[in-house]
Chain A
């Protein structure tokens, strides 16, 4: 059963995280904390025109939260902001149990196993929820840290 959670793709992203650090310019900034376990993720995005040119993540936490953030950076790089919003919604809906539209999710599909471990869903969605909040705040007002409790 553990193999469904700790799939090779997940462990690979955890052991060799992609896009760690800070974007050369932070047009969007998102901060997610999970006070329950101390996961802490910071995302910075550089946008050229309407396209996300660079996504970086920093912080610390469990393998699931870190791998998920690493996957996020790879997934969203090169998308337009609208496409990114759609993708985030797709991922959030996947964790809510919606099995449709999970095709063409790439490495994200590997995170599906987390659904069987309800306590860890918060770890997996932390980066995605934080970025979603940041996008919303950029329309509505000042950004606050996303706190998953």
Chain B
């Protein structure tokens, strides 16, 4: 008996171009796996099967070496010294910004703000844009399936400004976004639509172009949470037309503590600084200060230089593979996982069943075994998954569960690892189902 809360969503995502991608070069997964030192380790004596990529990806040796080389040979502060090292550090740091700008199709590096991650990027927009642009009577729209980091910052700024936070309910049938419903919800007072580009629980990919089209008709802005999408599918901000995009380095092969806010230049120009300090100023007197130009206006204090350089190296790695190939690999694993997981008796899989409209994030529950117990048994077999509410408590409530188990894939995962996952899930029954 296999149940699912997400049935086919075919036909809904016709603007996605997945079908064309069958012709892109396949990833050489064996070669890729050799680039990741951690994949050679064993856990409890078993080879590591790392399926917690939606929480954080592993790092290739090129990223690890970029950080290590920087600290071994090139470290100094940026934008400050006239000495050789400072110039070298600045150059590398700014090159990384250029790499990221190119990677997401931004027009200019002025539109790329370094942050600690997607969470800080969304907080930056909520506070900086929100305090200047929101007042009582205005409203913002988010969805039920957002990560807490795309819920709580908006709740906080609404409390400060008196604006109203509304939420787009999910389609009761397949838990996708109902864009007709979004069209109905929009009012002339809607100032911002902030949606995930790829759900970290259901894997559903949002048709952002359609969202942007609706928003434009109403004069609303669109912020996309790209924490799950930017690592896994080609993302081009100009093509999508979004006003803001937030993402994290550590989910895309880069280090923790570095992420990025993309913002349209004219919007960023009008926004006040988010934090004050060094580097973000032009002049400071005891009476008042003036601000540095973009992007530095939003980057107070000594930044995460090594993190930015590491993220630059991770972008190089992904560009070398080609994001179309990365997506095609995900597509292939998704199709395999849907078929393999569905064969397990008493499993409930949440999220769409069509591989092309989803990312490689699979949330599930097995019989009435608590996800923590499931995760514990899987760990003993070297299989690393996530168990919990995935920072999406409103979505858990909508699904009617307290928590789920979640397996999420990336470029180094294989079909035989999915087989191991399925065998491990079945084996939990030994403890709990008799």
Q: B97 at interface (Cβ–Cβ under 8 A)?
A: no
User: By the criterion CB–CB under 8 Å, are B431 and A36 in contact?
Assistant: no
User: By the criterion CB–CB under 8 Å, are A2 and B387 in contact?
Assistant: no
A6 proximity list for chain B (CB < 8 A):
373, 431
Cα distance, A101 to B311, chains bound together (Å): 52
A62 proximity list for chain B (CB < 8 A):
370-373
User: By the criterion CB–CB under 8 Å, are A63 and B373 in contact?
Assistant: yes
User: By the criterion CB–CB under 8 Å, are A38 and B403 in contact?
Assistant: yes
B316–chain A nearest beta-carbon distance, Å: 35
A64 proximity list for chain B (CB < 8 A):
372-373
User: By the criterion CB–CB under 8 Å, are B396 and A38 in contact?
Assistant: yes
Cα distance, A35 to B393, chains bound together (Å): 9
User: By the criterion CB–CB under 8 Å, are A61 and B370 in contact?
Assistant: yes
Which residue of chain B has its CB nearest to the CB of A11?
B431
Cα distance, A14 to B431, chains bound together (Å): 11
User: By the criterion CB–CB under 8 Å, are A38 and B373 in contact?
Assistant: no
Cα distance, A61 to B396, chains bound together (Å): 14
A11–chain B nearest beta-carbon distance, Å: 7
User: By the criterion CB–CB under 8 Å, are B372 and A1 in contact?
Assistant: no
A11 proximity list for chain B (CB < 8 A):
431-432
Cα distance, A120 to B371, chains bound together (Å): 13
User: By the criterion CB–CB under 8 Å, are B380 and A37 in contact?
Assistant: no
Q: B377 at interface (Cβ–Cβ under 8 A)?
A: yes
Cα distance, A11 to B373, chains bound together (Å): 11
User: By the criterion CB–CB under 8 Å, are A37 and B44 in contact?
Assistant: no
A36–chain B nearest beta-carbon distance, Å: 6
Q: B388 at interface (Cβ–Cβ under 8 A)?
A: yes
User: By the criterion CB–CB under 8 Å, are A2 and B377 in contact?
Assistant: yes
A1-B370 contact in complex given A37-B387, A38-B403, C-beta closer than 8 Å: no
User: By the criterion CB–CB under 8 Å, are A37 and B431 in contact?
Assistant: no
A38-B402 contact in complex given A62-B370, A63-B432, C-beta closer than 8 Å: yes
> Interface 1/0s, chain B 387-414, versus A by CB < 8 A?
1110000001000001100000000000
> Interface 1/0s, chain A 51-85, versus B by CB < 8 A?
00000000011111000000000000000000000
Interface residues of B in 411-431 (CB under 8 A from A): 431
A1 proximity list for chain B (CB < 8 A):
44, 380
In-complex Cβ contact of A37 among B371, B377, B432 (8 A)? B371
A42 proximity list for chain B (CB < 8 A):
none
Cα distance, A108 to B183, chains bound together (Å): 57
In-complex Cβ contact of B372 among A2, A40, A123 (8 A)? A123
Which residue of chain B has its CB nearest to the CB of A38?
B402
B389 proximity list for chain A (CB < 8 A):
35, 37-38
Which residue of chain B has its CB nearest to the CB of A117?
B376
Q: A5 at interface (Cβ–Cβ under 8 A)?
A: yes
A61 proximity list for chain B (CB < 8 A):
370, 372, 402
B117–chain A nearest beta-carbon distance, Å: 19
Cα distance, A5 to B373, chains bound together (Å): 10
A2-B376 contact in complex given A40-B402, A62-B370, C-beta closer than 8 Å: yes
In-complex Cβ contact of A5 among B44, B376, B402 (8 A)? B376
A148–chain B nearest beta-carbon distance, Å: 13
Cα distance, A46 to B264, chains bound together (Å): 62
> Interface 1/0s, chain B 251-295, versus A by CB < 8 A?
000000000000000000000000000000000000000000000
A60-B431 contact in complex given A1-B44, A1-B380, A2-B377, C-beta closer than 8 Å: no
A59–chain B nearest beta-carbon distance, Å: 10
Which residue of chain B has its CB nearest to the CB of A59?
B402
A60 proximity list for chain B (CB < 8 A):
402
User: By the criterion CB–CB under 8 Å, are A2 and B388 in contact?
Assistant: no
B370 proximity list for chain A (CB < 8 A):
61-63
A126–chain B nearest beta-carbon distance, Å: 12
A18–chain B nearest beta-carbon distance, Å: 18
> Interface 1/0s, chain B 158-201, versus A by CB < 8 A?
00000000000000000000000000000000000000000000
B28–chain A nearest beta-carbon distance, Å: 36
A28–chain B nearest beta-carbon distance, Å: 25
Interface residues of B in 366-382 (CB under 8 A from A): 370-373, 376-377, 380
Cα distance, A61 to B268, chains bound together (Å): 45
B425–chain A nearest beta-carbon distance, Å: 15
B432 proximity list for chain A (CB < 8 A):
11, 14, 63
Most buried by A among B371, B372, B388, B432: B372
Residue numbers of B with Cβ under 8 A of A are 44, 370-373, 376-377, 380, 387-389, 396, 402-403, 431-432
The 4 A-B residue pairs whose C-beta atoms are closest, nearest first, are A38-B402, A62-B372, A62-B370, A38-B403
Provide a sorted-by-A list of 7 A–B residue pairs whose CB atoms are within 8 angstroms: A2-B376, A5-B376, A36-B388, A37-B388, A38-B388, A38-B396, A60-B402
Apart from the given pairs A1-B380, A62-B371, 18 other A-B contacts in the complex at a CB distance below 8 Å: A2-B376, A2-B380, A2-B431, A6-B373, A6-B431, A11-B432, A14-B432, A35-B389, A36-B388, A37-B371, A37-B372, A37-B403, A38-B396, A38-B403, A61-B402, A63-B370, A63-B432, A64-B373
